[in-house]
Structure 1
Amino acid sequence: MGTRRQFSREFKVEAVKLVKERGVSVAQAARDLELHQTVLRSWIRELAADPQQAFPGKGVMKHEQAEVERLRREVAKLKMERDILKKAAAYFAKDSL
């Protein structure tokens, strides 16, 4: 199995333009660019859904993704705090009996 190919934002945008602006079929564009049609179709959908933030690049998150990640970290922290408080409450409850 080979290594996974990485494509720049510019490459993806140009690949989508082949289909959307120049009228090349998805099948033909995918063959010409040596891509799987599924990959090209997903790029077309992603660019149509959010032209400004599509293909943010390696290590760069869209605003929504960054917010979801922040909330996940906060939930994990709150669960840990809750578990500590439960253990403390159980300890003191046992102690008062």
Structure 2
Amino acid sequence: MPRTRPPYPPEFHREAIRLVRASNEDHPIPRVANELGVSVETLRTWVKQDEIDESEREELTTEEKEELRRLRREVKPLRQEKEILRKATAFFARKEIGSR
């Protein structure tokens, strides 16, 4: 699904998270999101990921997610190459048996 607008700069993320954390309210995310013009869910996601990165939650950190994405991109062509080699091996094995 294509993004509807360019991503926010990291400084904007950090400032939005700081505003949420600095608030004395019980549920500051809706107010801060409205003030900054971002969706509540977007800001909630940023705050949650920051909590994960700061080891306040147990989930994949931003670095771990980036590494996972990178490794998945590396594995995909390797799996395709493996499948091609498997099929080529089977093809040549049949051809070898047929020529005997």
TM over 0.5: yes
Structure 1 distance, partners of 2:77, 2:89, is: 19
Would you say how many aligned residue pairs link Structure 1 and Structure 2? 89
Post-superposition shift, 1:20? 1.8
Tell me the equivalent position of 1:95.
99
Post-superposition shift, 1:94? 2.8
Structure 1 distance, partners of 2:41, 2:51, is: 15
Task: Map 1:22-33; keep pairs closer than 5 Å.
Answer: 22-23=23-24, 25-33=28-36
Structure 2 distance, partners of 1:4, 1:12, is: 15
Post-superposition shift, 1:93? 2.5
Paired amino acid for 1:19: V
Tell me the equivalent position of 1:10.
11
Q: Percent identity?
A: 18
Deviations 1:48-83 (CA, angstroms, capped at 9, x unpaired): 2224x64x7xxxx82232223222232222122112
Tell me the equivalent position of 2:42.
39
- If asked which structure has higher relative contact order (CA below 8 Å, sep 6+), I would say 1
Match of 1:72, SS state, is helix
Post-superposition shift, 1:42? 1.0
Match of 2:80, SS state, is helix
- Any unmatched runs of 5+ in structure 1? none
Deviations 1:10-61 (CA, angstroms, capped at 9, x unpaired): 111211111123346110011011111111111112122224x64x7xxxx8
Post-superposition shift, 1:3? 4.3
1:72–1:50 CA distance, 2 compared to 1 (3 A): farther
Tell me the equivalent position of 2:21.
20
Structure 1 stretches (4+) deviating beyond 6 angstroms? none
RMSD over aligned Cα atoms: 2.5
